[in-house]
Chain A
Amino acid sequence: MTDNTIDHHRGHSTEGLEDEVIAQLRSLPDVEVPVGLSKQIMAAVHGRKRSWWRTVIFRLSRPRTVSFTPLKWAPVGAALMVGLFIGFNLDRMSTAPEPSPAQQLAQSENDADVHFKLGRLLLANDKAAEALVHLKQAAHAHPDNASYRFWVGVNFWTLNDFDQEREYYQSALTIDPDYLPAHVYLGHNYLDQGDWQTALGHYERVLQDVPDHPEALFNRGVALRYQGDTALENNAWAAYLDHYDRGEKALQAVTYLNANGNFSFRRIQMGPVEVVKRRISFRPDETVLEGTAHHTLEDIGHLFEQNRRLELHVVAYVANDAQLAKLRAKKVKQHLTDQFDGISPQRIKLSWFDVGETIKMDDHVYQLGSSIHVFATTVEES
Chain B
Amino acid sequence: MLTAEDDRMVEAVLMGDVEAFGHIVRKYEKPIFNLMYRATGSMDEAADLTQDAFLRAYDKIHTFRPGKKFYPWLYALSINLARDHLRKKSRRPEMADLDPDNAAQMTWSDSNAAAEADRSADSERLHQILRTLSINDREAVLLRFRDGFKMKEIAARLDLSLSGAKMRVHRGLEKLQKAWGEKRHDR
Contacts and interface: CB of A to CB of B under 8 A. Distances in A.
Interface of A: 1, 3, 5-6, 9-10, 14, 17-18, 20-22, 24-34, 37-38, 40-42, 44-46, 48-50, 54-55, 58-59, 117, 120, 124, 147, 210, 212-214, 302-303, 306
B26 interface: yes
Contacts of B5: 210, 212-213
Dominant SS among interface residues on chain A: helix
A24 B43 contact: no
Given A3-B151, A21-B180, A37-B51, A31 B34 contact: yes
Interface in B95-114: none
Given A17-B180, A28-B126, A38 B25 contact: yes
Given A18-B173, A29-B123, A31-B43, A44 B55 contact: yes
B153 to A, nearest CB: 10
A37 B15 contact: no
Contacts of A50: 13, 16, 18, 58
B59 interface: yes
A17 B14 CA distance: 49
B122 A37 contact: no
A26 B54 contact: no
Nearest to A151: B19
Nearest to A6: B170
Interface residues of B, number: 53
Given A6-B170, A45-B54, A55-B15, A25 B145 contact: yes
Given A41-B51, A302-B148, 12 more contacts: A9-B170, A20-B180, A21-B126, A24-B180, A25-B145, A28-B146, A31-B34, A40-B47, A45-B25, A48-B59, A58-B15, A124-B22
A261 B54 CA distance: 46
Contacts of B39: none
Contact of B177 (A14, A214, A306): A14
B119 interface: yes
A1 B4 contact: no
A176 to B, nearest CB: 13
Contacts of B16: 50, 55
Contact of B14 (A20, A22, A58, A120): A58
A173 to B, nearest CB: 18
A6 B173 contact: yes
B169 A6 contact: yes
B33 interface: yes
B117 interface: no
22 contacts: A6-B169, A14-B177, A25-B145, A29-B123, A30-B30, A32-B30, A33-B33, A34-B43, A38-B26, A41-B25, A41-B54, A41-B55, A42-B22, A44-B51, A44-B55, A45-B25, A50-B13, A55-B14, A55-B16, A58-B14, A214-B2, A303-B148
B177 A17 contact: yes
B64 to A, nearest CB: 11
Interface in B1-36: 2, 4-5, 8, 13-19, 21-22, 25-26, 29-30, 33-34
B50 A37 contact: yes
B17 A147 contact: yes
Interface of B: 2, 4-5, 8, 13-19, 21-22, 25-26, 29-30, 33-34, 37, 43, 47, 50-51, 54-55, 58-59, 62, 115, 119, 122-123, 126-127, 141-142, 144-146, 148, 150-151, 163, 166, 169-170, 173-174, 176-177, 180-181
Q: Pick the most buried of A31, A41, A44, A213: most chain B CB atoms within 10 A of its CB.
A: A41
Contacts of A46: 18
A58 B10 CA distance: 12
A55 B61 CA distance: 11
Contacts of A29: 119, 123
B59 A37 contact: no
B58 to A, nearest CB: 5
A41 B21 CA distance: 10
Given A25-B145, A33-B33, A120 B19 contact: yes
Contact of B37 (A17, A20, A31): A31
Nearest to B176: A21
Q: Pick the most buried of A17, A26, A28: most chain B CB atoms within 10 A of its CB.
A: A28
Contact of A22 (B25, B54, B145): B145
A6 B166 contact: yes
A141 B21 CA distance: 25
B114 to A, nearest CB: 13
B123 A212 contact: no
A20 B184 CA distance: 11
Closest A-B pairs by Cβ, 6 of them: A25-B145, A58-B14, A55-B16, A33-B33, A38-B25, A25-B146
A42 B181 contact: no
Contact of A33 (B19, B29, B173): B29
Contacts of A147: 17
B33 A31 contact: yes
A25 B43 CA distance: 21
Contacts of B55: 41, 44-45, 48
